[in-house]
């Protein structure tokens, strides 16, 4: 009787896993719980721009540079950041991975705990994905296409979130801004000039906004600024500074220079029965009063 041939695998389980990881298109990095890099696949090596020998055994924070997608500040502990995002997802918010060439790529990340045969936790498997396309879609949904400021819908969403978490004693403020004589720019120089002016105005306003605040283009030549933890007297002072800065700016189009003004209405946001619509309506009314007062002074 002839014995049946038996098949013996020439690959160990570890070798099979390594082969699979090497074939994945997404960068995969394995660390221990201190953040020390244990393994990374070819896609990760290509993304980081370093060879395996110079990476293994080093801390993740020394191997990759992650920037906060909003503040653009470096994240000191990427592993803790990634683990927190995996347990408390924040849709449409992406961090930036800075490559060795200086190029910044929005990334989407996922983390899984690596467990040994005894089911004890041994490390973390981190998968990074290029989120350039997803980030662009998210920006288009929440930001104005011309100025790249938050759009009305996103502004109202953030205002609503602020109102929902508002506590007694907290003080916030909202500035409603309407450009003066902007229609004349469009009528005289055309919509291309008007669009150029709106982008420049957005840059001027953005330069004086704190990281925690929300600047938005509500539509047309109307802007709004949500000032968190800001009493109304400081909000009024900020409004005067914005108006003065804009008044001093000279706009030039096709050899013609002109200046613009802005009417600003400020309202306080304190504990009470407020809705986003009621706060915006009050600020809009204050802005109208400021514009009417300016006309009466002429």
The pLDDT, as a whole number, for residue 95 is 85
Give me 198's structure tokens.
Answer: 């709106």
- Please state the pTM of the whole predicted model: 0.62
The pLDDT, as a whole number, for residue 165 is 87
Q: Which has the minimum average pLDDT: 127-131, 246-250, 284-288?
A: 127-131
The pLDDT, as a whole number, for residue 12 is 66
For residue 169, pLDDT beyond 70: yes
The whole-angstrom separation of Cα 242 and Cα 263 is 10
Residue from 68, 221, 233, 284 carrying the catalytic annotation: 221
The whole-angstrom separation of Cα 43 and Cα 25 is 6
The whole-angstrom separation of Cα 229 and Cα 169 is 10
Give mean pLDDT, residues 251-275.
Answer: 89
For residue 262, count other CB atoms closer than 10 A to its CB. Answer: 27
Please state the separation of Cα 53 from the chain's center in Å.
34
Give mean pLDDT, residues 278-290.
Answer: 94
Give me 195's structure tokens.
Answer: 């669009």
Answer yes or no: 221 catalytic: yes
Give mean pLDDT, residues 211-228.
Answer: 94
For residue 63, pLDDT beyond 70: yes
Domains of the chain from N-terminus onward? 13-138 (3.30.450.20), 144-297 (3.30.70.270)
The whole-angstrom separation of Cα 228 and Cα 231 is 9
């Amino acid at each position: 009787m002839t014995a049946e041939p038996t098949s013996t695998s020439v690959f160990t389980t570890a070798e099979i896993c390594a082969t699979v990881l090497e074939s994945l298109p997404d960068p995969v990095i394995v660390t221990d719980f201190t953040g020390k890099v244990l393994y990374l696949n070819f896609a990760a090596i290509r993304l980081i721009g370093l060879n395996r020998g110079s990476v293994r055994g080093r801390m993740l924070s020394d191997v990759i540079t992650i920037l906060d997608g909003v503040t653009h500040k470096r994240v000191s502990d990427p592993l803790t950041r990634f683990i927190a995002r995996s347990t408390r997802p924040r849709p449409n918010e992406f961090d930036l991975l800075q490559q060795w060439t200086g190029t910044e790529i929005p990334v989407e990340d996922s983390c899984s705990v690596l467990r040994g045969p005894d089911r004890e936790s041994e490390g973390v498997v981190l998968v990074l994905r290029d989120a350039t396309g997803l980030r662009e879609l998210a920006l288009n949904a929440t930001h104005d296409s011309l100025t790249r400021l938050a759009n009305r819908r996103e502004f109202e969403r953030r205002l609503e979130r602020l109102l929902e978490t508002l506590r007694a004693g907290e003080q916030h403020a909202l500035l409603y801004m309407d450009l003066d004589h902007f229609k004349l720019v469009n009528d005289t120089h055309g919509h291309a000039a008007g669009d150029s002016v709106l982008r420049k105005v957005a840059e001027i306003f953005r330069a004086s906004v704190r990281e925690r605040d929300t600047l938005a283009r509500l539509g047309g030549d109307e802007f709004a600024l949500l000032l968190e933890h800001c009493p109304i007297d400081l909000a009024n002072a900020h409004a005067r500074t914005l108006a003065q800065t804009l008044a001093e700016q000279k706009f030039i189009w096709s050899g013609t220079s002109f200046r613009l003004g802005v009417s600003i209405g400020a309202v306080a946001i304190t504990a009470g029965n407020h809705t986003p619509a009621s706060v915006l309506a009050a600020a809009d009314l204050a802005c109208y009063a400021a514009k009417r007062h300016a006309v009466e002074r002429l």
